[in-house]
Structure 1
Amino acid sequence: MSVLPARADAVVIGGGVIGTSAAHHLAEAGVDTVLLERGSLGGGASAHTAGMVRTYFPGAPRTGQMAVHSLNAYHDFARRTAAPLALKRLGFLALFTDEQQIADFEADRPAQQAAGVQVDLVSARQAAELNPLVDERAVLAAAWSAEAYHVDGLDIVRGYAAAARNHGARLFTHTPVTRIDDDNTVHTPLGSIRADGIVCTAGPWSGEVAAMASVDLPLTPHTIEMLFTDIPPSPYRELPETAELPMTMHAASGLRIRSWKDRILLAMGAPRAGESREAWLGRIAGHLGTLFPALDGIGLHRAWSGDFDAGPNNAALIGAHPARRFLYAAGFTGAGLCQAPAAGEKLRDLLIAK
């Protein structure tokens, strides 16, 4: 059994995509870094996403700015980490079914463009050309951002973890944090370690970890369930084997679909409080039948589910406690893959400056 060192400049708690990014950026900067993960690396929220990185987040240009910076880092990932990262461009399409959604898009577009986000308004016909499953009669227009890619989140975690180790970081898995003292001594079943600075990147458990240090993070638990369809009929089967649909979101309901091998992967949150699973699946089926007629009545099956942490207004919290060396990056609402490089850099800069 590994034994923890007595101390470290930084102890990162959480070994998902945000935590491994933080460990890499800290160790690369010469910070003596230890990472503690309660399970396996990337085994939490990082493993329960649709595997997409995108830059357009409707109504959230600050998130888009983080995502643009992060996407640039992913394009440079192999050079920085010596680990190849396969990015496959799919694009992101947001379907508008209400005039107000179009007005909101136009009002938001200058801020998106200032953040470096590339997004355009396209017609319903153009939306149907980008995704042949779309019924152009059911939508008014759509936002189209070509800068959206499929990526394996575990490749990002493994790449950052290996790079962190190469820079001297020590990573401990299956090592849950059980207590944090006022002097930043972190206790685990493997022993205790004194940290000059603690970096909380524990995803859905970030609020629990922060509470151990008497830090209050205003996070709301958020559950999402991913579903697979049965093998779709035409026109999906008539697409070239190498073709994949863009990630497509219904702006009104949040329903998102994308290709997944010979099926469709989709998500629309999880049943509301008091809503039966059957009623929730019925809502999804109704949207599918209206927006994507080829999927009307198609069978839906559980793929996987996961818990995410949501910050206020679904914006991530990245910062430092004013009275102690406790840093945090949490509340990414399932979009951690899109922001991990930028978040790791911010945590590095905050720790070095604090």
Structure 2
Amino acid sequence: MNLLHANDRMGEYPPSYYAATATPLGPFPTLKGQIRADVCIIGGGYTGLSAALHLAEAGLDVVLLEAHRMGFGASGRNGGQVGSGQRQDQDWLETAVGREDARRLWDMGEDAKALVRGLIDRHAMPVRFHPGIAHACRSASEVRHAHAYAEKLARDYGYDQIQPLDRAEMRAIIGSDAYHGGELDRGAGHLHPLNFALGLAKAAADAGARLFERAEVHHITHGDKPVVRTASGQVTCNHVILAGNGYLGGLDRKIAARVMPINNFILATEPLGDRAAGVLSQPIAVADTKFVVNYWRLSEDNRLLFGGGESYGYRFPDVARTVMKPMLEVYPQLRDVRVEYAWGGTLAITMNRMPCFARPAPNVLSASGYSGHGVAMATLAGKMMAQAVQGQASGFDLMERLPQPRFPGGATLRWPLLVAAMTWYSLRDRLGV
């Protein structure tokens, strides 16, 4: 079964709040016949669209192939959070790659946030960036660790945007007694993810990139001049960029061994009106410290957008029921609120939760596996691959050097092994461990 088609209709966005409120764009044509390009990009999410934009602005002839619609995948379905740093914290990075590269990776994360905000402003996208993400801790020990880590970032990295929160302060912001405290990162933020993807698509097209929709790639013939084939056409090019993330499928087995697709789910309530202030007293986003993370924010029309729950097969479960359970654990006072949208999507994780940057062939670049930290980093990854195509690969090379183990069990056994592991961690969440 193909994840591109397991839960969605061909060429249609899912019935999400984001799709219902997006600024329309396109549709773009499908690929027909044989064409040539300097670079062929596979995937119309943040990674591919950012690469297309930056390559086109540099004067290269770029073709981008998207199986459905621009922003169709995780880029148009996620929680919209633009987080600081990398998916792993600086303590982990310092141990894994040393202090010097850990510093470069922190700066890269800051560059990623600045890139998102800069692109929104430069291209006058129909997107508003809202500052602030709170991280809600489930235990007193987690609170102590979060506060110590904020001190470390201020001391060692000059990052002073984090406000420690005790239990009462967290309660005053999120309107829930479910957490012991945490911190509020004023340098992070959140946005409408599909409108950002569509803003990137418009900017790339305006810069001269040729974008195609309903152009699912089924085969790549590698060589000095790779050929990328769809059902109705083909692109002969000098370079290929793989930007399919969780929907890459079997196009490259080297990447598939290190990047695992998983499903995540979000609901949107009816507008809360005056009750919204009792859910979030500030226009911030929130993520908690569970292994299967809960994350939420208010929309601009005061709906609660709450994400939670994961699945590891192809078919989505009953999404509303799946997400209502963790939502009511945080906000039992919303039991009577009507759910108006509920949707799922497929993202990609890696064994160590850091992105997988790779060169599957000499003229093929790939970036994927953002592990829930992709709004900013995927956008930067596209820019870095555009730079690498032009011979400026220092950023890409740093990410490629990160240790990136294969999932155990290979293509055959990785699914059941992942399910077993995730089930164990989900049990730990439920037990409060």
TM-score range, shorter chain: 0.7 to 0.9
Instruction: Say whether the 8 Å CA contact 2:82–2:189 is kept in structure 1.
Output: yes
- The letter for the 1-side match of 2:170 is A
Q: State yes or no: 1:41 paired with 2:80.
A: no
Residues in 1 aligned to 2:46 and 2:228: alpha-carbon distance in whole angstroms: 21
Q: State yes or no: 1:222 paired with 2:251.
A: no
1:330 corresponds in structure 2 to: 368
1:12 corresponds in structure 2 to: 41
1:339 corresponds in structure 2 to: 377
State the Cα deviation string for residues 270-317 of structure 1 (Å, max 9, x = none). 3588xx9699567525622xxx45336756675111111112222221
Residues in 2 aligned to 1:215 and 1:146: alpha-carbon distance in whole angstroms: 35
Residues in 1 aligned to 2:40 and 2:378: alpha-carbon distance in whole angstroms: 18
Q: Offset at 1:67?
A: 4.1
1:100 corresponds in structure 2 to: 141
Q: Offset at 1:53?
A: 2.2
Gapped regions of structure 1 (runs ≥ 5): none
| Percent pairwise identity | 22
Q: 1:235 to 1:194 in 2, by over 3 A?
A: closer
- The letter for the 1-side match of 2:354 is A
Residues in 1 aligned to 2:295 and 2:117: alpha-carbon distance in whole angstroms: 25
Aligned length: 340
Q: Which moved more, 1:166-175 or 1:101-110?
A: 101-110
State the Cα deviation string for residues 181-240 of structure 1 (Å, max 9, x = none). 1322111123222221110001222242223xx655511111111123466597536799
- The letter for the 2-side match of 1:173 is E
- The letter for the 1-side match of 2:194 is L
Q: 1:59 to 1:111 in 2, by over 3 A?
A: farther
Output the aligned Cα RMSD: 3.4
State the Cα deviation string for residues 232-275 of structure 1 (Å, max 9, x = none). 597536799xx7542222313622222133432211123588xx
Residue 68 of structure 1: which of 104, 110, 130 is its match? 110
- The letter for the 1-side match of 2:284 is P
2:217 corresponds in structure 1 to: 177
1:320 corresponds in structure 2 to: 359
Q: State yes or no: 1:119 paired with 2:159.
A: no
1:130 corresponds in structure 2 to: 173
Bigger share in helix = 2
Q: State yes or no: 1:153 paired with 2:193.
A: yes
2:240 corresponds in structure 1 to: 198
Residues in 1 aligned to 2:198 and 2:324: alpha-carbon distance in whole angstroms: 38
1:294 corresponds in structure 2 to: 333
State the Cα deviation string for residues 37-81 of structure 1 (Å, max 9, x = none). 11111112212112332326674347765442122123322564x
Q: 1:215 to 1:92 in 2, by over 3 A?
A: closer
State the Cα deviation string for residues 148-167 of structure 1 (Å, max 9, x = none). 43322233223322332333
Residues in 2 aligned to 1:264 and 1:247: alpha-carbon distance in whole angstroms: 10
SS at match of 1:314: coil
Question: Structure 2 length normalisation: TM-score?
Answer: 0.68
- The letter for the 2-side match of 1:45 is A
1:77 corresponds in structure 2 to: 119
2:348 corresponds in structure 1 to: 309
